[in-house]
Structure 1
Amino acid sequence: MKTTRLTLALGLSLLAANASAQGCMTAIKASGLNIGTSPDYPPYESLDTSNKVVGFDIDLMNAIGKQMGVKVNVIGQSFDGLIPALLAKKIDMIAAGMTITEERKKSVNFSLPYFSGQNVIVVRKENSATKTLAALGGKSIAVQIGSAQEKLAQGVKGGNVKSYNLYTDAALAVQTRQADSMIVARPVALQFLKTYPDLTITGMLNKIDTGLAIRKDCTDVQNRVNAAIIQIRKSGEMDTLVAKWFK
């Protein structure tokens, strides 16, 4: 009897889990794929002159939505609130140039990596001798709240971490000498250098993979997104988007 009850309980648990996962796609097909992003991280996402969210992530998500046969709705908010919003089911996915980390994997699933790169150190040109993490000891380091770069900066011995809601504010802080340096992904750094020519990249740091964050109970969505990414790569569309936004 105990074995029968245990088997029944396990069966019901699996059915419930499967129903939950299937329910994710059912809801998305009905109302669209709600994407959370923080539009202060060019070229991944930013606001254009008409305050429309644009960028690599947005184009990629529209391509993924087309592959999945669903409408994509973009919802902008602060970066540090994205994972809480995902877990609270206010959004279906995060597309925000988010670094895949082991810590984040504890609470969310990630798609296949869709872009790989490196973190870099950005300083004003007169401080170009600052080329390593160790050299940031005793200096202020601008980063975004809740970012993987914030965690990296917090590990610098003697570093003074200055966390900002927006990476655009972090870059401005370095430009205006309110911070000595900034740690950020290289493609984003290159965009900020176009805005602030007084800044320069001095050090190449750790390699990072970027992915789309999805709730753990939505494995069907994760599978559909991964299949779409693979198809977008095979078709050459991914290369086209990379060339548009990163070169």
Structure 2
Amino acid sequence: MTASTLCRSTAKSRIAAVCAVAVAGTLLLTACGDQTDSASTKESGSATATKDAPLADLLPKAVKDKGEIKVGSDIAYPPVEFKDESGKTVGIDPDLADALGKQLGVKFVFENGTFDTLLTGLRSKRYDLAMSAMTDTKDRQEGVDSETKKKVGEGVDFVDYFTAGVSIYTKKGDDKGISTWSDLCGKKLVVQRGTVSHDLAKAESAKCGSKGKIAIEAFDNDLEAQTRLRGGGADAGSSDFPVAAYAVKTSGGGKDFQLVGEQVEAAPYGIAVAKGNDELTKAIEAALNAVIENGEYQKIIAKWGVEAGAVTEAKINGGS
């Protein structure tokens, strides 16, 4: 869930950004806070704690002894993280977490929550990490509210693992004349609360002037926003490109939605770690670089059809 840089160059974004990214039709199979369902929403990665894991000694002793890393995630953001038909948590993030777990010798245990409260969960130590297509931004690093610019927390550190842009989508065959963000003035937009799409909509609405503000309806998750648009309750929706493209490809067998205009706000997704946990941050960075170097990262990204968002190395706090 990403911030605002048109691919042409206007605004910043939750996955695969770069204007050259393939459209939805080329995607193969191809996000998030307070605990919403405690035990029933917990999912463990397949990685098994093992003394033979090459990077296990990089972990803080408390984490290593526990044998697991708790991950806060909004598990309703396909193809990044979502439940399959059997109820299993699947997607880009769970697959990467499994790969990281093999390097570190611990299980990554996903716990479902709402996106806009994940960072609060980190601060309260409910989670060790937040991994939920979260865009790495300076505001999040510094604990600053993106709208008021007031300090609201200690901030977090990010280990960046992907690049993404934000897209607008409408009902198929009914774009309402929308091709740019300014075209949303005077219209109704649905988004997921607390995301870059939400921030962009509020910023654009403030510039609408006589055209009328954007009527923004924000939901706990992106699937709810899609349902509202599908039912005719809005003119358009916005989310990270891979998520929008996945919805276009799969919803109603590809008959419900269409992408309009260009992606905006190309920016990195980051694995969030609470400030002060430098040892854990460095361990995650090392593990990510290891799976990039051994080729497992590239296989996961290709599996979900989002190669254009791949990175070549892990970075800490690379967002702006």
Shorter chain as denominator, the TM-score bin is 0.7 to 0.9
Q: Which residue of 1 aligns with 2:97?
A: 61
Q: RMSD in angstroms over aligned alpha carbons? A: 1.7
Pairwise CA distance, 1:88: 0.3
**Cα distance per residue 1:176-195 (max 9 Å; x no partner):** 11111111111111111111
Pairwise CA distance, 1:101: 1.3
Task: Tell me the TM-score normalized by structure 2.
Answer: 0.67
Q: Which structure: greater helix fraction? A: 1
Pairwise CA distance, 1:49: 1.5
The amino acid of 1:117's aligned partner reads A
SS, match of residue 79 in structure 2: coil
Q: Which protein is bigger by CA-based radius of gyration?
A: 1
- Structure 1: tracts of 5 or more residues without a match: 1-21
Cα distance in 2 for partners of 1:186, 1:246 equals 12
**Cα distance per residue 1:14-68 (max 9 Å; x no partner):** xxxxxxxx9x822211221111111110111001122221111001011111111
The percentage of counterpart residues that share the same residue type is: 29
Cα distance in 2 for partners of 1:220, 1:68 equals 13
Pairwise CA distance, 1:246: 2.7
Confirm or deny: 8 A CA contact 1:170 1:182 kept in the other structure.
yes
1:50 maps onto 2:86 in alignment: yes
Confirm or deny: 8 A CA contact 1:128 1:200 kept in the other structure.
no
Counterparts in 2 of 1:207-246, with a 5 A limit? 207-246=266-305
SS, match of residue 41 in structure 1: coil
SS, match of residue 136 in structure 2: coil
Task: Tell me the TM-score normalized by structure 1.
Answer: 0.87
Confirm or deny: 8 A CA contact 1:150 1:163 kept in the other structure.
yes
Pairwise CA distance, 1:128: 5.9
Cα distance in 2 for partners of 1:51, 1:76 equals 12
Pairwise CA distance, 1:134: 0.3
Cα distance in 2 for partners of 1:124, 1:195 equals 11
1:30 maps onto 2:65 in alignment: yes
**Cα distance per residue 1:54-104 (max 9 Å; x no partner):** 111001011111111212111111111211111100000011011111111
Runs of 4+ aligned structure 1 residues displaced above 2 Å come to: none
Cα distance in 2 for partners of 1:156, 1:86 equals 30
- Structure 2: tracts of 5 or more residues without a match: 1-56, 143-154, 206-212, 307-320
Report how many residues are paired.
Answer: 225
> Which of the pair has the greater relative contact order for Cα pairs under 8 Å at 6+ separation?
2
Cα distance in 1 for partners of 2:115, 2:247 equals 18
SS, match of residue 65 in structure 1: helix
